[in-house]
Each structure stands twice: as structure tokens, then as C-alpha cells.
Amino acid sequence: MSSPGDPFDLAVDGHRVKTPIAIASMAGVVDAAYIAARADHVGMGFAGGYSIDPPTIEASRRMAGGGRCEFLPGDPVAEIGRQADLLSRLPVVGGVNLRASTPGALADLAGSVGDRVIYEIDAHCRQKPMMEAGSGEFLLHHPDRLVEMVRALASREVMVSVKIRAGVAGSDPELARRLWEAGAGLLHVDLMDAGHAKIRQIRNASPIMIIANNSMQSFDRVMEMFSHGADLVSLARHSDPETLAGLDAAITRYAGEFGWYNAPKQLCRGGDVRALTFCCLPVKDCPLQPTLKKVNLSREEYVNLKREAVKGTPLQDGQYTCFGSLAWCCKATSPCLLRDATLEQMGMTKKEYMQRKRELSRAIMDRVFPPRART
């Protein structure tokens, strides 16, 4: 469970992420120094993008010739290694955003630089030269190639992120699932004009860690993403220290008060699959039934799963609640005298209740998306 010193209880690849805010890459702008200057208010930062093989380097040259800002180091592998060193000394989890045209180029880079950073595949850039080089958004139109790239990096035992633009691939949830099964740990989603519904669709299709991106500079927008399944949000154009500090303070305050910063809405209010943690016993016709069907859980499996997961924990208790156990009780923000009286009697704060509901939701997600689903 989270502690006062760690209100988010969030980690990537075993490394603690101190706040669920990331800096998204901007070619020619975001490097380790840029991230260092903002490190107090972010938990992750992605330097780059860096073009790493001859076709993408040539594309970067053409883009720079057309007036775009690009990083064009003489020796990209040495430069990415240097950036990785600088990032690994910061109190943030660092990543590098990479443009590559082949899986081999990524695997070779990971072989040289090692697991000091997260490797983020740029499947986002829609500049013509980059797409012609077989990189950026080209990969969203050729998902098999993107999957191969993820596999190539995962085979080097490094943490893989994929940066996508929503609404380009045939199906974003299907793509997310395939990328997770191939070994990606993070999906960095530029939502463009899509709203939180896109985040919920992706969350319902895989347990991959989701970073929601695009215009995430207001607390309300960020909370909308969190309550529909995002684990982090990221900022590029508005990654100025003032905006980051304001968001960090507001999110930290919220987490300190409510205990689970990205708690889903109740299922019947549009929540994602994690909301099964707040669902009742299956006794009525409601959104629970179709959701169980979608995630291939029978009613009995659902009941047993929750009963088993809360066994020996305080959520097992609650004989005066609707269904005799807090396992079936609603989100703390849904008013309920019965539950609140039970919590008071047990000496459990609403914050602790929500933290325990988060643990229950993790057990549910592990069951719905077992690791063996990976290919």
C-alpha cells in the first residue's frame, strides 16, 4: 500500500515513479538537461526523439532541412548512451524516444546501451520523410512490424514503451493488447481529439501501463484520464516548470487525501474494468453482466476471485453491509451510511479503504490478464 512519503505507489520496471507526470519527447528540444531542469515535478521523462539507423537519420536530415528541430548527433549510439547516463542520475525514470526502421537497429542499440533507460519506439511521427523511412506513424499502418520491434527490444530484456497517435491504427485496443503480449510495458498515447473513452477502451483490453498525452495541462483533464484507466499523463508543449509544479501539487494533494489517485469510476457510471473492485455480488441486471462476459469470467469465478482476494484482509469483514463484506462495497465517494459506519467501527479510514480496494483491483487485473497471455 502507498505510504505518506509515497502517495502514488507507482513503479516502472521496479523503479519508483515519484509522481504520475511525464515529460514527452520533442525532437531537438527534450534531452536529459531539459528533463533535469524539471525533475522536481515529474516522475518520468522521455528524451528525444533520436533517429538511430541510416534511413531514419536521413529522414531527420530532410526534416531539419525543412526547418524542423531535430537531434542529429554524429554518433547516435554514443549520444543515446550519454543521455542514458545523465538520465540515470536523475530522480526520475528516464526513457529515450527512438526512430528506427528495423527491429535489428533497436535490438543493437539496446545491446550497446543496456537497461539503464526505457526504450520508447516512436510510432507517432507523421512527417513524410520519417514515414517513408518506415518509421513513426508508418508503424501504426504496419502493426506486424511494430510488434516485431517490441519483441526485438524485449528479447534484450529492456523496458519497452510505444508512443502512438490514437485513431490511426485499425483498432487501438487491439493494438495495445498485441503490444503488451509482445512484451511492451508502456503505451504512450497521444489522444489527439479523442477523449477519455479511448483510454477506457485501451484499459479494458490490456493491463499495459498507459501514459495519456495531449493537452494534459489542467487538473480536471488529468483526473478524467486517471479515472478511466491512465497510469500517468505526459506533457510536451506545456512542459514548463510552472505548469508541471502546479499539476504535481494538485495530484499529490488528491492522492494524499483519497488514497488511490487513479481510482476508476463505478462500472455503472462508465468505469473501466478495474471498477470490478467496487462491484456488487452479481444479483441484478446491470453493466456487471456484460463486463464479466467481455473479460471471460463466469459469475462464479468473479465471486470466488473477489472472495479469495480479500481473505484475511479487512475487506473480508462488513457483515452489516449490503452483501456481508466490504469486498462488494462501492467507491468511497458514493455516499453510504452502512459502509461508513462499518469503516468507523473497524477504525479504517476511507483513504485506507480505497488503498485496499486498489489492491483488490490489482488481483482482479492479474486474473483477467494473466501473464501467460504474453506471446
Ligand X SMILES: Cc1cc2nc3c(=O)[nH]c(=O)nc-3n(C[C@H](O)[C@H](O)[C@H](O)COP(=O)(O)O)c2cc1C
Which amino acid would we find at residue 360? L
Q: Does 339 bind ligand SF4 (CB under 6 A)?
A: yes
Q: Does 267 bind ligand SF4 (CB under 6 A)?
A: yes
Applying the rule CB under 6 A, the residues between 260 and 289 that interact with ligand X are none
Segment contacting ligand X by CB under 6 A, of 118-126, 146-154, 257-265, 365-373? 118-126
Please, which residue, 136 or 229, has the CB nearer to ligand X? 136
Sign, CA dihedral 373-123-59-142, equals positive
The one among 10, 236, 292, 327 contacting ligand X by CB under 6 A: 236
Contact assessment for residue 33 and residue 61, using Cβ atoms and an 8 Å cutoff = no
Please count the residues of this chain forming the interface with ligand X, following the rule CB under 6 A. 22
Could you tell which of ligand SF4, ligand X, none binds residue 26, using a CB distance below 5 to 8 A set by kind? ligand X
Give me the half-sphere count of Cα atoms (radius 13 Å) on the Cβ side of residue 326. Answer: 32
Reduced to 3 states, what is the DSSP secondary structure of residue 324? coil
Applying the rule CB under 6 A, the residues between 42 and 61 that interact with ligand X are 48-49
For 176, the grid coordinates are: 495495445
- Least Å from the CB of residue 366 to ligand SF4: 20
State the Cα–Cα distance between residues 184 and 122, nearest whole angstrom.
13
Give me the half-sphere count of Cα atoms (radius 13 Å) on the Cβ side of residue 314. Answer: 17
- Least Å from the CB of residue 3 to ligand X: 30
Cα–Cα distance list, 149 to 4, 87, 137, 368 (Å): 39, 23, 14, 26
Segment contacting ligand X by CB under 6 A, of 36-44, 59-67, 209-217, 354-362? 209-217
Which residue blocks in the chain are alpha helix, DSSP H? 32-36, 54-65, 76-88, 103-113, 128-132, 138-141, 143-154, 172-182, 196-205, 219-226, 241-258, 288-294, 299-310, 337-346, 350-368
Could you tell which of ligand X, ligand SF4, none binds residue 125, using a CB distance below 5 to 8 A set by kind? ligand X
Q: Does 332 bind ligand SF4 (CB under 6 A)?
A: no
What do you get for the CA distance between the two ends of the chain, in Å? Answer: 31
Q: Does 100 bind ligand SF4 (CB under 6 A)?
A: no
Applying the rule CB under 6 A, the residues between 165 and 204 that interact with ligand SF4 are none
Please, which residue, 214 or 227, has the CB nearer to ligand X? 214
Please, which residue, 37 or 341, has the CB nearer to ligand SF4? 341
Q: Which residue is nearest to ligand X (CB)?
A: 49
- Least Å from the CB of residue 335 to ligand SF4: 9
Could you tell which of ligand SF4, ligand X, none binds residue 236, using a CB distance below 5 to 8 A set by kind? ligand X
In order, the DSSP letters of 97-153 are: EEE-SSHHHHHHHHHHH-TTSEEEEEE----HHHHHTT-TTHHHH-HHHHHHHHHHH
Which amino acid would we find at residue 208? I
Q: Does 235 bind ligand X (CB under 6 A)?
A: yes
Q: Does 263 bind ligand SF4 (CB under 6 A)?
A: no
Which residues are at the interface with ligand X (CB under 6 A)? 24-27, 29, 48-49, 69, 97, 122, 124-125, 163, 190, 213-216, 235-238
Which residues are at the interface with ligand SF4 (CB under 6 A)? 266-268, 278-280, 286-288, 321-322, 328-330, 336, 338-339
